[in-house]
């Protein structure tokens, strides 16, 4: 479905795409690639429907463009709460989410683990992404190299150079 009702708030065409089987972010993107690439966009924003709040999309787009990135991921710190007061970062809380290890100066993602079994980082993935459409070429390359079976496949995409 395409919606233009949000154009007064955000000048981008908005499409709501629903996967009927959980495929992960890369799998869902690849499944809907024809619908996503309709109109020849250069950059796409992906937001999972289970998150709703005010996102810094303009800032993300600026950072994404300035760094000529293939992908940009929104992250946030996970606090722990003691006696109804934010206390400190909880390693236990962070493991419920995808954890990001980023370079403190450049913010480049150095390591990412989806719901790790042990503490990796207190910075978690918010499920909001910006991608250059060249991403689909990388996904296609990985899918061509992978033998699909009952095991899950970890897709790691790194920017060359």
Q: What is the pLDDT of residue 152?
A: 46
Q: What is the pLDDT of residue 155?
A: 41
How far apart, in whole angstroms, are the C-alpha atoms of residue 46 and residue 73?
10
- pLDDT-derived band at 101 (thresholds 50, 70, 90) equals very high
- In degrees and rounded to multiples of 5, residue 144 shows phi and psi of -70, -25
Q: What is the arithmetic mean of pLDDT over 145-157? A: 50
Domain boundaries, the chain: 2-145
* Whole-number average pLDDT of the chain: 77
User: 76 is written with which tokens?
Assistant: 């946030």
Q: What is the pLDDT of residue 72?
A: 92
Q: What is the pLDDT of residue 158?
A: 39
Q: 2-145 has which CATH code? A: 3.90.550.10
> Which of 99, 113, 108, 112 lies closest to 159, judged by CA?
108
Beta strand 99-102 with 2-3 is unpaired
pTM over 0.75: no
> Between these two residues, 91 and 27, which has the higher pLDDT value?
27
């Amino acid at each position: 479905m395409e919606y233009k009702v949000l154009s007064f708030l955000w000048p981008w065409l908005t499409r709501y795409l629903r996967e009927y089987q959980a495929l992960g972010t890369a799998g869902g993107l690849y499944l809907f690639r024809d619908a996503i690439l309709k109109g020849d966009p250069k950059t796409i924003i992906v937001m999972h429907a289970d998150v709703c709040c005010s996102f810094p999309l303009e800032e993300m787009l600026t950072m994404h463009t300035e760094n000529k990135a293939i992908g940009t991921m929104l992250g946030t710190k996970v606090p722990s709460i003691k006696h109804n007061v934010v206390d400190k970062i909880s390693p236990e809380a962070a493991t419920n989410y995808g954890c990001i290890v980023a370079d403190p100066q450049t913010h480049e993602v150095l390591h990412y683990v989806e719901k790790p079994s042990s503490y990796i980082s207190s910075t978690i993935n918010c499920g909001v992404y910006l991608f250059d459409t060249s991403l689909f070429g990388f996904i296609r390359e990985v899918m061509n190299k992978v033998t699909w079976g009952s095991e899950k496949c970890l897709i790691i995409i790194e920017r060359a150079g």
